[in-house]
Amino acid sequence: MSEPILQLERVSRIYDTGKVLVPALQDVDLTVDRGEFLAIVGPSGSGKSTMMHILGCLDRPTSGRYVLDGTPVEELDDDALAAVRSRSIGFIFQSYNLLPRTSALENVATPLAYQGVPRRERLERARAALTLLGLGDRLDHEPTELSGGQQQRVGIARALVTEPAVLLADEPTGNLDSHAGAEVIELFRQLHATGRTIVLITHDLEVAEAADRQVHIRDGRIAPDGRIAA
Amino acid sequence: MSLRDLLRLAVSRLGTGKLRTGLTMLGIIIGVASVVALVSVGQGATEGINSRLEGLGTNLLTINPGFSTSGATRGALGSATTLTIEDASAISALPDIAGVAPELSSQQLVVAGSQNETTTVIGTTPAYPLVYAYTMWQGSFLNQASVDHSLRAAVLGNTTATNLGLTASSIGSTIYISGLPFEIVGIMQPKGGSGFVSPDDEVLIPVTTARDLFVGSDSVRTVGVSVTTQAAMNTANAEITALLDQRHGIGAGGTPDFTITSQTQLLSTVSSVSTLLTVLLAGIASISLIVGGIGIMNIMLVSVRERTREIGIRKAIGARGRDILLQFLFEALMLSVAGGIVGIVVGVLASGVIAVIAGWAFTFNPFTVVVSVVFSLIVGIVFGVWPASQAARLDPVVALRYE
Ligand SMILES: Nc1ncnc2c1ncn2[C@@H]1O[C@H](COP(=O)(O)OP(=O)(O)O)[C@@H](O)[C@H]1O
Ligand SMILES: [Mg+2]
């Protein structure tokens, strides 16, 4: 079959606080195939967000190799990394991270602005994405005028609008009540059904059940058999 | 991001936090407004001075006794007693000379009926109105016969006539100058203000009469000379110099005992001084532009800090460092240029008000506007680029974790 879309080889990320070195990720190997729905599960502080930042090209490994969609990321400069984020990655955050004082429509259209898509077209595509997520009647609402679940759906629309190769979601249900959380997870399953590659990061085993495959992480290391050591 | 997107972002940003935006722009507004107003005021003043000087009379050469460019031991200009009525009549015989008006002046008490005032009484010749650009309102000016025969005839400036309660029907009546009776032969049209001394508050009598009755000597303080044409000014100047040198026995290389000032010379001196003042004032005012720029930089630095998370989000969804840099730079530019435009409006209004109060023509210089806009653009770039590059350099992970 085709080559994997994401591939980490012996990736480490060591934070240098000036006083101490914090090894947040150590010798991590990970492969994600095209169209896969993968959950990365681990307790707080285990290095999940660090891993997502590296997978999303927001951060670089201290050592090791990361190949995204056939491109070795360590060879790219900052502008090229920004281009990769723009075209290949869709981020979904725990705290939604919508642009403040900006309408849902403008929020969803902004990633396209950084791709140089003409305004008319990007508004059209943003409207379509929001409508798809059931927010067709909330286009002009600013984040403060939306519920948590709605804000997260705007966030998902923003991640989807560029048709990225991978969706990276970091605790997307973490700030939601169980009902809204279940809706988001159901949304992910639907997106997966249409062929999207999704990496879902969570500390919640129940949420992780939605994925095809689970990888467990603890103290910056992947559990040997993909399961938490008993 | 396209230029349009950047502009749209910057404009929408101006709308949020209007008070802060307004206060930030205030520095630029004040700076630009004062530059615009001061330049306009400077120009108004210069033009006011010029038009008043022009009102003095056309092609005017002024001769004073004494020499102006010599050392400090010399007396003040006009204090020497070497220029005489005879010098004046000799000058009037030269070619290129349209008229010569010597002035023998003294302060005298002038009485008309129950009114009296102390004013300047000037002994002069019939050329006086020509030389100093006066016209008659009533009656006629002093004639040659009144000079030849030292007649007690008087012509009044318009202000003097008003102060003394004289009217058109007063021609032919008698006024008393220092107790001596004079016949009023004419009253002049007002000429309007020229500096601190009104040119309309004076009494003119024949130069010979002034010499005999009030001054007692024929040395004059000023001789006004009207030259036939502007082109002949230099020739006339040389001819007068040669004539006076000869009459006063001053050889080649000797120090002349008189000074000839041309009106054009005076004009250019005055206007260059006032131009210098304008530039100086505008320079001082532009310092406040720099202060305004620092205000913008300050608020932009605060803004970058406050919006750290927004910067992280934008980077996560595909913004390059350059996109962030331009976004913040455009915001700074928007502040400075909007401030500049408001400042121009305020400055123009202020200079209009000042022009009305000072009574000179309102001048509006489009060049100042262009310079102001360019200057505020530069201020925006200079003081906006550093905060913007701080924003652009932020590490996206750090920015996203920022609370
Ligand atoms: N910028 C940083 N500097 C130093 N240590 C960090 C930094 N970011 C994260 N860490 C540490 O790295 C470890 C992993 O953090 P993180 O990836 O956020 O974990 P998770 O998302 O699983 O909760 C934690 O111990 C955290 O304290
Ligand atoms: Mg985390």
Picking from B2, B3, B9, B317 by the largest number of A CB atoms within 10 A of its own CB, the best residue to mutate is B317
Under 8 Å CB-to-CB from B162, ≥6 apart: which residues?
none
Flag whether pLDDT at B194 surpasses 60.
no
B321 contacts A114? CB cut-off 8 A: no
Q: For B337-365, what is the mean pLDDT?
A: 87
Chain B CB within 8 Å of residue A162 CB: yes
Flag whether pLDDT at B146 surpasses 90.
yes
How many Å apart are CA B157 and CA B261, to the nearest integer? 25
Q: For B77-83, what is the mean pLDDT?
A: 63
Per-residue pLDDT at B58 = 66
Q: For A91-112, what is the mean pLDDT?
A: 96
Closest-approach residue (CA) in chain A for B4: A119
Flag whether pLDDT at A101 surpasses 60.
yes
Per-residue pLDDT at B185 = 95
Task: Dig out the tokens for B403 from the structure.
Answer: 């609370």
User: Residue A163: left (phi > 0), alpha (psi -120 to 50), or beta?
Assistant: left
Flag whether pLDDT at B160 surpasses 60.
yes
Q: For A51-77, what is the mean pLDDT?
A: 94
Q: For A152-178, what is the mean pLDDT?
A: 95
From atom 12 of ligand 1, which residue's Cα is the shortest distance away?
Answer: A24
Chain A environment of B323 (Cβ under 8 Å): 114
Flag whether pLDDT at A23 surpasses 90.
yes
Flag whether pLDDT at A228 surpasses 50.
no
Flag whether pLDDT at A1 surpasses 60.
no
Flag whether pLDDT at B331 surpasses 90.
yes
What is the average pLDDT value for chain A, to the nearest integer? Answer: 93
- Angle CA(B180)–CA(B184)–CA(B185) in degrees, nearest 5? 135
pLDDT tens digit string along A118-138? 999 999 999 999 999 999 999
Domains of chain A with CATH codes: 6-222 (3.40.50.300)
Task: Dig out the tokens for A85 from the structure.
Answer: 């984020």
For the ranges A96-105, A161-170, B279-288, the lowest mean pLDDT is seen at B279-288
Q: Assign B72 a pLDDT band (cuts: 50, 70, 90).
A: very low
B23 alpha carbon – ligand 1 mean position (Å) = 41
B4 contacts A162? CB cut-off 8 A: no
Which residue shows structure tokens 């202020």?
B350
A97 contacts B400? CB cut-off 8 A: yes
Contact of A24 with A7, CB cutoff 8 Å: no
CA distances (Å), origin A87, targets A80, A123, B117: 11, 17, 94
- What is the DSSP pairing of strand A166-170 with strand A197-202? parallel
What is the best residue among A15, A168, A203 to mutate for testing ligand 1's pocket, by most ligand atoms within 8 Å of CB?
A15
How many Å apart are CA B16 and CA B393, to the nearest integer? 25
Closest-approach residue (CA) in chain B for A167: B317
The ipTM assigned to this model is: 0.95
From atom 24 of ligand 1, which residue's Cα is the shortest distance away?
Answer: A45
User: Containing H/E element for B235?
Assistant: helix B233-247
Gap from A174 CA to chain B (nearest CA, Å): 16
Flag whether pLDDT at B385 surpasses 50.
yes
How many Å apart are CA A141 and CA A139, to the nearest integer? 6
For the ranges B28-37, B192-201, B325-334, the lowest mean pLDDT is seen at B192-201
What is the best residue among A21, A22, A25 to mutate for testing ligand 1's pocket, by most ligand atoms within 8 Å of CB?
A22
Q: For B204-223, what is the mean pLDDT?
A: 91
Kindly provide the b/e burial profile for residues B128-152, where b requires at least 16 CB atoms within 10 angstroms of the residue's own CB.
Answer: bbbbbebeeebbebbeeebbeebbb
Chain A CB within 8 Å of residue B322 CB: yes
A85 contacts B318? CB cut-off 8 A: yes
Q: Assign A224 a pLDDT band (cuts: 50, 70, 90).
A: low
Q: Assign B152 a pLDDT band (cuts: 50, 70, 90).
A: very high
Which one has a higher pLDDT value, A226 or B313?
A: B313
Q: Which of A58, A114, A115 sits opposite B397 (nearest CB)?
A: A58
Contact of B332 with B298, CB cutoff 8 Å: no
- Cα-Cα-Cα-Cα torsion A29, A33, A36, A40, nearest 10 degrees, comes to 10
Under 8 Å CB-to-CB from B297, ≥6 apart: which residues?
B332, B383, B384, B386, B387
From atom 20 of ligand 1, which residue's Cα is the shortest distance away?
Answer: A45
Which residue shows structure tokens 């595909």?
B318
For the ranges A123-132, B97-106, B195-204, B340-349, the lowest mean pLDDT is seen at B195-204
Chain B CB within 8 Å of residue A91 CB: yes
Under 8 Å CB-to-CB from B313, ≥6 apart: which residues?
A97, A98, A99, B400
Q: For B272-288, what is the mean pLDDT?
A: 83
Picking from A54, A86, A140, A168 by the largest number of B CB atoms within 10 A of its own CB, the best residue to mutate is A86
Gap from A17 CA to chain B (nearest CA, Å): 12
Residues in contact with ligand 1 (CB, 6 Å cut-off): A 15, 17, 22, 24, 42, 44-50
Per-residue pLDDT at B402 = 86
How many Å apart are CA A166 and CA B22, to the nearest integer? 44
Percent of chain B with pLDDT over 70: 93
How many Å apart are CA B280 and CA B261, to the nearest integer? 28
Per-residue pLDDT at B360 = 74
Sheet holding A221-222, edge to edge: A89-92, A166-170, A197-202, A37-41, A213-218, A221-222
Task: Dig out the tokens for A187 from the structure.
Answer: 């949304």
How many Å apart are CA A85 and CA A95, to the nearest integer? 19
Q: Long-range contacts for A134-139 (Cβ within 8 Å, ≥24 apart)?
A: A135/A104, A138/A104, A139/A103, A139/A104, A139/A105
Closest ligand (CA of A53): 1
A82 contacts B319? CB cut-off 8 A: yes
Q: Assign B73 a pLDDT band (cuts: 50, 70, 90).
A: very low
Per-residue pLDDT at B231 = 84
**Which burial class, exposed, middle or buried, applies to A227 when counting CB atoms under 10 A from its CB (0-12, 13-18, 19+)?**
exposed
How many Å apart are CA A143 and CA A155, to the nearest integer? 10
Per-residue pLDDT at B193 = 56
Per-residue pLDDT at A229 = 41
